[in-house]
Structures are given as C-alpha cells and as structure tokens.
Amino acid sequence: MALGVCLVVVLAQALIPDFRRPVADSMQYADIIATLADQIRHDPGRVNGTLGTFFGPAYPLLAALLAAFDGSLAAALACVAKDGAVCDLGGLTSLFAVQGIVVALTVFFCFLAIRRLAADGWTPWVALAVLLASKSFVNYASLILTETVAFFFVALFAWLFARFLTDPARRSLVLIGMGAALAGATLTRPSYLYLVYFMVPVIVLWGRAGAGYSWRAAAVAGMSFVLGAAAILGPWWLRNYLSFDLPAISGGYGPRVLVERLAYNAMTWKEWGVSFIYWLPDFGDGLASSLFSEDLWKRLTWYGDDSFYMMGRGPFFQEVYKAAQAQPNALGFLLREYVWADLGKHLAVTVALAARGQWVGKYIGLVGFMMLPVCLWLLRRRGKALPFLMFCLPPYFMVGLYAFVSVNVVRYNEPLIAVFALSIATVLVDIVRRGLRAIKPNAKPMTKDGTI
C-alpha cells in the first residue's frame, strides 16, 4: 500500500505541472546524455572517452540508454543543451516518468527505514506524509541532475542500514547490499566514497557494542560491507586506471570544489555569527537584513557582486586554482596552505555552512531539527534511541563533509529529510496519543505496535 501511495503521489507531483526548461548544470548533463545516446547508437567505441573521469557515470549512462531507445527524448535533450533554442519539452516526458518512479522508490525505502526505527505503527505513516509533503525528493524528478539516482541509492542504503541496526542477527547479505548501494551512490556522486570509508568502523563498532558480536564477527560484518562496495567500485577503478592512468574513482573535481569553499573563510567573525540567522530557511535573509546593517550580511548572499559565493567563482578562484594546478598535488597544496594553516577558522565556517545545508524541506527541516531532542527522549523510553542516533550518523557525516570541502547547498543533503520526518512524526503521534488520553482518560491506550 505504501509503495502505491508513493507512486501515485510522486508521479502526479512530477508529471502534472508544466516542465521547466533546464538551466545551468542541467544543460550540461543534457548535452552529455545526448552525446552518449548518439554514440551508443552509432559509435559505441567513443562512449568510454565521453564518460571520462570527471562525472560519476551512473546517471548520464542510465539516462543515455533510455534516450538511445527514445528518439523524442534524444532530440529534446540535444535541444535543451543549446542556450536559447526553442524546444519541445514534452520530449522529456519519458525521462521524467522514469525518474518519478525512481523517486517513488526512494521515498518508499525511507518509509521502510523509518518503520524499522519507529516506536509504533502509526509513526511511519505520518512520516510518509511528511516526506511526500516536503517534496524533497520529487523536486528532482523533473530535473536533469544526478540527485534522483544518487538519492535512490542512499535511501536503499538507509533502509538496509536500519535493518542492520534493528535486527541483531548476523546479516551478511544486508551488509553486502549496504556496500553495493553506497557504491551506486558513489558512481553517481563521487563524494559518497568518503561515506563508504566512514561506515566501515561504524559497522564494526556497532556490531561489537550494539549487536553483541564478537570482535571477529564484527570484523566479518565490516568486511562484508567492503565486499559489496568493492564489487561495484572495483571495475570502475580499474577502468579509470587502464584507460586514463588514474588510480581513483574520479579525478579533477575535488580541487575545483574546495577552492569555491575556501572563499567563505574570508568572512569576519561578525559575519559568521550573522550567517546562522541569514541562512535560516526561507525567512532568514529577511530577518537578518532587518536586524543587522548591510555590511554584515551582504557577502552572505548567493549572487551579490562581492558575495563569498561569487568570490569562489571569480578572481579568488582563478588565483588560487591556478596556484594549486601548478603543484604536483593540487588538493594536497590547498589543504596544506589554506585549510591546515587556518584550521580553526575553517572548522568554524564549516559549522555555519553545515547549519545552512541541513535545512531540507525548508520549514520541515527546521521543525524536524527542533524536535530532535524530544524525539530522542521519546525513543529512549521505548529503547530505540541508540539505533536512531546511529541512523543519523551517515546523513550528518555527509552534511559535515560537504560543509568542510564545498559550499554545501541544501540539495546535497536531501536524504536528511528521513531523519526529520521520523522526528516530526514521533512527536506528533505522541502528542495525539496524550491528547486522546486527556479527552478519554479511561480509553484503552495505544499498544506498542500502534493499534488501539
């Protein structure tokens, strides 16, 4: 039933409104996908070179395979990749329909994860309503961006991780699936490779301390996870090494993104303090502008002439990136000269950017974050607080990582909506339960599974 609800609601949200013309990054992906689709049909030998090493291969390759069998989609992609061209956006329908199904599955996997962690049977359904109302995932169903596929794999991982946390039995297949799911996310957005590394000690320590495994069994659990990831990532790593002499999953992206992030370290401490208000969702900019002088928030905007964001794409970027490219190890140079040399400031700004990046679903993210302490207290009473805390680790690790190395826009952190949906639903269900008890003191209370 939950899957049916997800499919109906998501497809309606994705396909009924008029399609928006792709802009910026979407145009670049449309061009790559159209090129790949043409090569798949007429010159398959060039596909490997077009994929290169800069972008993750999963999304453009999957979309190109669809376009190779749908001429209208291929023509629409080729058209929207050209700036100013008049295009029939209806040709994108098949791509957006498939992406809508992928998003529906993403929401469904979040529902399954929440059902594992929730304290009763009502909470997952309330959380599902929150997920669908937020449109955190469905917003990408009608965009030509990697997020749709990346979040699908992250949600699949989240469900399997929730199973591992809530079932003490040794589940090698679940752990292998967790590794494979994160590997799929990595082949869509290479930054998830760091989450693969992070999860190995998390799995081992939870196996030992949380599930009661022996150290040997906990180590086997970690190895099972690594095996699942390596089975997917290994062939791509080998392909990069043999074809491009690159012993890595991707190349060239890290230094560019880090330079854009380093511009934010130029903020003053007063600007840093104001940023926590200015970057609140929806109303923060207006509130900050009414409370503080313009010089304290002007550089916190996105597209102002002297904003930190534009600094990271203008002269600052050109100067620092050029210096880094002149070094044998560009990333190592940036870390040594700009991060470690002023680590305190970099970490402080990371906290501010992490706060900005977590407001998924705007007010839903803000309310969910505020309800986290209450949610933890309620789950602790049911003996479910520790699994929930562990479940929060992967999305918050990525929030911190993105804030440390990038400008950390909200769209990077959409999977965090599952945490906030569970937080809101847990508190709301408890409020309703207490309200019913107050109205009918002698009524039979809800049981642990949510029935009355």
Residue 241 in any domain: the answer is yes
Q: Is the pLDDT of residue 363 over 50?
A: yes
Whether 189 maps to a domain, the answer reads: yes
- Tell me: pLDDT of 450 over 60: no
Q: Given 250, 276, 307, which residue is the final one in a domain?
A: 250
**pTM for the whole structure:** 0.91
pLDDT, residue 178, reads 96
Task: Clarify whether residues 266 and 239 are in a common domain.
Answer: no
Helix extents (H) in 16-57: 25-42, 47-51
Same domain, 230 and 299: no
* pLDDT at residue 323, as a whole number: 84
Distance between start and end Cα atoms, the chain: 21
pLDDT band at residue 452, thresholds of 50, 70 and 90?
very low
The answer to whether position 54 is within a domain reads: no
Q: Is the pLDDT of residue 103 over 70?
A: yes
Q: Residue 130 domain-assigned?
A: no
Strands (E), 248-392: none
Pick the more confident residue, 327 or 227. Answer: 227
**Residue with structure tokens 């050209």?**
82
| Segment 99-122 mean pLDDT | 93
Q: Mark whether 274 and 220 lie in a shared domain.
A: no
Is 445 a domain residue?
A: no
Whether 160 and 296 share a structural domain = no
User: For residues 249 and 237, is the Cβ–Cβ distance under 8 A?
Assistant: yes
213 and 257 in a single domain? The answer is no
* Domain termination residue (choose one: 215, 250, 285): 250
Residue 15: CA count within 13 A, CB half-sphere? 20
pLDDT of amino acid 451: 41
Looking at the fold, whether 244 and 182 belong to one and the same domain comes out as: yes
Q: Is 126 within a domain? A: no
Does residue 9 belong to any structural domain of this protein? Answer: no
Q: Evaluate whether residue 444 is within a structural domain.
A: no
279 and 238 co-located in one domain: no
Express each pLDDT in 132-152 by its tens digit.
999 889 888 888 889 999 999
- Residue 448: is its pLDDT beyond 60? no
Do 193 and 159 fall within a single domain?
yes
Note the pLDDT tens digit of each residue in 153-177. 999 999 999 999 998 776 789 999 9
Residue 348 and residue 426 in one domain = yes
Distance CA(37)–CA(180), nearest Å, equals: 26
Write the pLDDT tens digit of every residue in 398-417.
Answer: 999 999 999 999 999 999 99
Determine the 3-state secondary structure of 31 from DSSP. helix
Asked whether residue 230 falls in the same domain as residue 269, the answer is: no
Q: Do both 242 and 271 map to the same domain?
A: no
322 with 187, same domain: the answer is: no
The pLDDT, as a whole number, for residue 290 is 93
Type of residue at 122? W
Domain boundary among 225, 250, 275: 250
Supply the pLDDT for residue 84: 66
C-alpha to C-alpha distance for 231 and 384, rounded to whole angstroms: 33
Taking each continuous run of H as one helix and of E as one strand, the counts in the chain are 21, 0
Instruction: Report whether pLDDT(327) > 50.
Output: yes
Q: Side-chain half-sphere of 168: how many Cα atoms within 13 Å?
A: 7
Domain count, the chain: 2
Say which residue the tokens 């190109």 belong to: 64
Residue type, 210: G
Which domain does 215 fall in, by range? 149-250
**Per-residue pLDDT tens over the stretch 9-45:** 988 888 887 777 777 778 888 888 988 988 888 888 8
Across the chain, mean pLDDT equals 89
What is the per-residue DSSP string for 128-151?
Answer: HHHHHHHTTTGGGTTS-STHHHHH
Among the ranges given (42-56, 182-196, 435-449), the one the predictor scored with the smallest mean pLDDT: 435-449
Which element (helix H / strand E) includes 413?
none
